[in-house]
């Protein structure tokens, strides 16, 4: 049986009192490095809102798959640690990290100054920008054209932020959804006139749902965004482990292979290793 380092320490302490012979005799050789080796390996719990293909989604078998999953799995392999991905709704995801229910978050999370107040981010691992989805016949040609329209966003995303800025915090024209696919479904059924979300996800959806009859509209006014992997504020040990792993998979070509698997070509200059 395995004893944790803490249990062994307790067992040895009791043994030293001379009253717990059995405790000391069950693990006589286990001290120092041996104790560390026999302790069960930590499994890092990674939260992700798995409704965001191609970054994270659930396949037919219910497994969580995607670009982010491959990147973090490769980083974990480099670092020699185990990870477990847990589907975590976006609306509670930052809280789950803070409460200690998750050790790490990977969820196409844009690094923002506001979020940096409450969590720490790794070096950026992906470049993104907002993109507008509309029906093919739509006259929308730029972001400003959304002003008189109903717009769908995923609650609490950077897409929500930009649309809130354009239309006003209490605008009834903003429809907020729990996931980006739900917002896009609403566009399909005509409940909203446009959806604003991360380019990678919008492009993937439009390409895989030809029947929805969408097109995309880009706007140069959108600020460039970068995704980072998040850890609890001050958790420098895990942050450094992930940053080193990320640098490692960028250096050995693993990142580029994962990128090509999902996006079909070598990373754009913006996503190349710094």
**Contact set with ligand ARG (CB under 6 A):** 49, 52, 56, 90, 107-110, 157-158, 180, 198
Smallest separation, CB 45 to ligand ARG (Å): 16
User: Cβ–Cβ contacts within 10 Å for residue 96, how many?
Assistant: 16
Cα separation of 133 and 205, whole Å?
10
Smallest separation, CB 189 to ligand ARG (Å): 21
Q: In this structure, are residues 222 and 229 in contact, taking their beta carbons and an 8 Å threshold? A: no
User: Cβ–Cβ contacts within 10 Å for residue 73, how many?
Assistant: 16
Contacts of 1-9 with C-beta under 8 Å, sequence gap 24+, read 2/38, 2/39, 2/40, 3/27, 3/30, 3/35, 3/38, 3/39, 4/39, 4/40, 5/35, 5/36, 5/39, 8/35
Q: Is 232 helix (H, G, I), strand (E, B) or coil?
A: strand
Per the DSSP assignment, residues forming a β-bridge with 64 are 58
Q: Which is nearer to ligand ARG, 91 or 145 (CB)?
A: 91
Q: Which is nearer to ligand ARG, 79 or 229 (CB)?
A: 229
**Six-digit token string for 37:** 């080796």
Q: Which is nearer to ligand ARG, 11 or 202 (CB)?
A: 202
Smallest separation, CB 50 to ligand ARG (Å): 7
Q: Which is nearer to ligand ARG, 44 or 55 (CB)?
A: 55
Q: Which is nearer to ligand ARG, 134 or 196 (CB)?
A: 196
User: Cβ–Cβ contacts within 10 Å for residue 203, how many?
Assistant: 15
CA angle 11/13/15 to nearest 5° reads 70
Q: Which is nearer to ligand ARG, 180 or 254 (CB)?
A: 180
Per the DSSP assignment, residues forming a β-bridge with 175 are 152
Q: In this structure, are residues 154 and 187 in contact, taking their beta carbons and an 8 Å threshold? A: no
Alpha-carbon separation of residue 51 from 89, 176, 201 (angstroms): 9, 15, 10
Q: Which is nearer to ligand ARG, 77 or 129 (CB)?
A: 129
Smallest separation, CB 156 to ligand ARG (Å): 7
């Amino acid at each position: 049986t395995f004893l944790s380092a803490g249990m062994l320490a307790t067992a040895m302490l009791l043994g030293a009192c001379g009253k717990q012979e059995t405790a000391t005799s069950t693990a006589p050789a286990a001290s120092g490095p041996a104790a560390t080796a026999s302790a069960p390996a930590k499994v890092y719990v990674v939260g992700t809102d798995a409704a965001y293909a191609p970054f994270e989604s659930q396949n037919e078998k219910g497994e969580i798959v995607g670009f982010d999953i491959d990147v973090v799995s490769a980083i974990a392999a480099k670092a020699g640690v185990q990870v477990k991905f847990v589907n975590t709704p976006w609306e509670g995801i930052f809280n789950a990290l803070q409460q200690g229910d998750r050790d790490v978050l990977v969820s196409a999370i844009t690094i923002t100054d506001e979020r940096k107040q409450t969590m720490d981010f790794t070096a950026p691992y992906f470049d993104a920008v907002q993109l507008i989805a509309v029906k093919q016949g739509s006259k929308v040609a730029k972001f400003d054209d959304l002003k008189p329209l109903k717009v769908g966003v995923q609650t609490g995303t950077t897409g929500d932020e930009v649309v809130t800025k354009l239309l006003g915090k209490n605008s009834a024209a903003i429809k907020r959804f729990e996931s980006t696919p739900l917002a896009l479904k609403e566009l399909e059924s005509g409940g909203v006139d446009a959806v604003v979300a991360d380019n990678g996800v919008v492009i993937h959806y439009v390409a895989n749902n030809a029947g929805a009859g969408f097109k995309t509209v880009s706007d140069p006014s959108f600020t460039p965004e970068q995704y980072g992997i998040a850890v609890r504020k001050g958790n420098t040990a895990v942050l450094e482990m992930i940053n080193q792993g990320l640098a490692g998979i960028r250096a050995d070509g693993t990142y580029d292979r994962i990128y090509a698997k999902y996006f079909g070509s070598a990373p754009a200059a913006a996503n190349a290793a710094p």
